[in-house]
């Protein structure tokens, strides 16, 4: 089995899966870094912080325009698969590495498993959104973090038997990391910070960091906010480069702003634990903040993590400086209401590992459907009346010789079409067959 990571968030979210797979002793796991994050030392620092085994290979890919990088990654991963006996490839998230792994494995006849599948913000201008949609079609199994993610996949035509709802592995990592960070990180002392006495901000996405107007608006808001409370910004290399290129460093003078280089995982988690508020354009940081009970403002126009907003821990501000500043002031005055974490319980890695082993031991991932008489399947929406009410989804599948794709109750709420789900009058069953 091959587990592929290319960026630091992928390392964080695949760590629980790798640990659980190795703990079982039932699978040989190869761990490869693609080199998409071309700072090798920083990637290895995350591997060390998360107590992962040293990678079996590091593919030196480096930075390049998206289409070029995707091509290079796909070629290198295909060559690796050619040279190694691999029965499954596991990737995570929405990066070029994840898409390249899905392409290389599928085209090599090796099934691909996608961790954190089904996230959508419905903004096709974002390269990550396109990656997510393409990977879903290629993956033999999609590990969705929430029921909403599974619903997104089903509505795009992914069959339910290729979806497993397992929670988000980021919860496993950040809960583990919070304990380790309190014991091992001295970052607050090194930076002269006090618990609860600063705001933490991260900005790295291409659509913001590469746009002078958007980046200027965000940095201007952070500068104003720093006159009220210290702002700590771990600077992504792209952001640092563009602040200089666009002449925006001047915006960060005059307030109480602390710029620091990229941090290791435990140091970052310790900063997150100690902050008053988080402002970020990172998807993973939205999840980490919610898990640790820290209010978060998302510096974007949309989020593919709507559960964080609905849980009351996150607010999408847009990229207008005035709106960002006003939202930050409100968030610092308001206490978060403690609610159950919709993202998981810290055991997602265990569920992913168990599902992978179950499918591997069952044998045969690929299945070609047979429609010799009909020619091709058709979708139908069946309204459950009094005669059909009380039957299970499995009974309906056997009787109608079809595959259940989704169930919506009388008020339009989605439900996974589990075989033992009992249908009620007014439900709508979507079938394929």
The mean per-residue pLDDT over the stretch 350-373 comes to 78
* Residue 377, pLDDT score: 80
* Res. 373: pLDDT tops 70: no
Residues 356 and 311 in one domain: no
* Residue 117, pLDDT score: 98
- Total structural domains within the chain: 3
* Res. 194: pLDDT tops 90: yes
The mean per-residue pLDDT over the stretch 123-134 comes to 94
* Residue 125, pLDDT score: 87
Residues 50 and 160 in one domain: yes
Residues 162 and 32 in one domain: yes
* Residue 164, pLDDT score: 96
Assign 374 a pLDDT band (cuts: 50, 70, 90): low
Residue 177 in any domain: the answer is no
pLDDT tens digits, 52-86: 999 999 998 877 888 999 999 999 999 999 999 99
Assign 372 a pLDDT band (cuts: 50, 70, 90): low
Residues 282 and 418 in one domain: no
pLDDT tens digits, 286-321: 999 999 999 999 999 999 999 999 999 999 999 999
The mean per-residue pLDDT over the stretch 126-137 comes to 96
* Residue 293, pLDDT score: 95
pLDDT tens digits, 151-161: 999 999 999 99
Residues 216 and 158 in one domain: no
* Res. 330: pLDDT tops 70: yes
Provide the percentage of residues in the chain whose pLDDT is more than 90. Answer: 84
Assign 150 a pLDDT band (cuts: 50, 70, 90): very high
Assign 350 a pLDDT band (cuts: 50, 70, 90): very high
Q: In this structure, what are the phi and psi dihedrals at residue 190, rounded to the nearest 5 degrees?
A: -60, -35
Residues 38 and 97 in one domain: yes
Catalytic option among 37, 82, 84, 204:
204
Separation CA 128–CA 304 (nearest Å): 10
Residues 214 and 288 in one domain: yes
* Res. 367: pLDDT tops 80: no
The mean per-residue pLDDT over the stretch 222-239 comes to 95
Is residue 236 flagged as an active site residue?
A: no
Separation CA 254–CA 219 (nearest Å): 12
Residues 104 and 14 in one domain: yes
* Res. 121: pLDDT tops 60: yes
Residues 84 and 132 in one domain: yes
- What's 291's domain CATH number? 3.40.50.2000
pLDDT tens digits, 4-25: 999 999 999 999 999 999 999 9
Separation CA 258–CA 7 (nearest Å): 25
Separation CA 281–CA 322 (nearest Å): 17
Count of CB atoms within 10 A of residue 70's CB? 21
Residue 17 in any domain: the answer is yes
Residue 174 in any domain: the answer is no
Domain limits for position 265: 197-333
Residue 192 in any domain: the answer is no
Q: How far is CA 76 from CA 70, 85, 393, in A?
A: 10, 15, 44
pLDDT tens digits, 33-53: 998 876 777 788 899 999 999
The mean per-residue pLDDT over the stretch 113-137 comes to 96
- What's 393's domain CATH number? 3.30.70.1450
Separation CA 91–CA 74 (nearest Å): 13
Would the pTM count as exceeding 0.85?
A: yes
Residue 305 in any domain: the answer is yes
Separation CA 297–CA 327 (nearest Å): 8
Residue 368 in any domain: the answer is no
* Res. 142: pLDDT tops 80: yes
* Res. 378: pLDDT tops 90: no
Residues 13 and 138 in one domain: yes
Provide the percentage of residues in the chain whose pLDDT is more than 70. Answer: 96
Range of lowest pLDDT (173-177, 234-238, 250-254): 250-254
Rg (CA), the chain: 23
- Closest by alpha carbon to 299, among 324, 277, 276? 324
Residue 178 in any domain: the answer is no
Residue 156 in any domain: the answer is yes
Residues 321 and 356 in one domain: no
Residues 314 and 350 in one domain: no
* Residue 88, pLDDT score: 97
Per the prediction, the chain carries an average pLDDT of 93
């Amino acid at each position: 089995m091959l587990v592929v990571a290319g960026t630091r968030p992928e390392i964080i979210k695949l760590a629980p899966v790798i640990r659980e797979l190795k703990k079982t002793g039932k699978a040989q796991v190869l761990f490869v870094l693609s080199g998409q994050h071309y700072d090798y030392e920083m990637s290895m620092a995350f591997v060390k912080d998360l107590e992962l085994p040293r990678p079996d290979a590091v593919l030196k890919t480096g930075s390049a325009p998206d289409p070029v990088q995707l091509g290079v990654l796909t070629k290198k991963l295909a060559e690796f698969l050619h040279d190694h006996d691999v029965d499954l490839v596991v990737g995570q998230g929405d990066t070029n590495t994840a898409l390249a792994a899905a392409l290389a494995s599928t085209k090599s006849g090796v099934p691909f498993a996608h961790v954190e599948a089904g996230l959508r913000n419905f903004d096709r201008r974002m390269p990550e959104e396109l990656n997510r949609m393409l990977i879903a079609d290629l993956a033999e199994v999609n590990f969705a973090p929430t029921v909403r993610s599974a619903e997104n996949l089903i509505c795009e035509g992914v069959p339910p038997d290729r979806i497993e709802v397992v929670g988000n592995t980021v919860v496993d990592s950040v809960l583990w990391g919070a304990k380790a960070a309190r014991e091992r990180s001295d970052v607050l002392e090194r930076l002269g910070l006090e618990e609860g006495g600063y705001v933490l901000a991260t900005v790295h996405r291409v659509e913001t960091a590469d746009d002078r107007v958007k980046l200027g608006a965000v940095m201007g808001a952070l500068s104003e906010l720093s006159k009220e409370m210290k702002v700590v910004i771990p600077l992504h290399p792209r952001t640092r480069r563009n602040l200089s290129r666009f002449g925006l460093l001047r915006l960060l003078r005059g307030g109480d702003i602390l710029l620091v280089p990229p941090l290791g995982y435990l140091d970052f988690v310790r900063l997150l634990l100690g902050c008053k508020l988080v402002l970020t354009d990172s998807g993973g940081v939205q999840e980490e903040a919610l898990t640790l009970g820290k209010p978060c403002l998302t510096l974007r126009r949309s989020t593919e993590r709507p559960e964080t907003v609905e849980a009351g821990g996150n607010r999408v501000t847009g990229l207008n400086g005035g709106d960002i500043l006003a939202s930050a002031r409100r968030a610092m005055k308001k206490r978060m209401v403690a609610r159950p974490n919709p993202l998981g319980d810290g055991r997602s890695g265990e569920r992913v590992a168990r599902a992978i082993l179950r499918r591997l031991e069952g044998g045969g991932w690929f299945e070609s459907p047979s429609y010799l008489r009909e020619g091709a399947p058709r979708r139908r929406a069946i309204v459950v009346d009094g005669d059909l009410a009380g039957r299970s989804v499995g009974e309906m599948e056997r009787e109608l010789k079809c595959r259940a794709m989704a169930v919506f109750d009388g008020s339009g709420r989605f439900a996974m079409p589990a075989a033992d789900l009992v249908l009620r009058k007014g439900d709508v069953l979507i079938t394929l067959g």
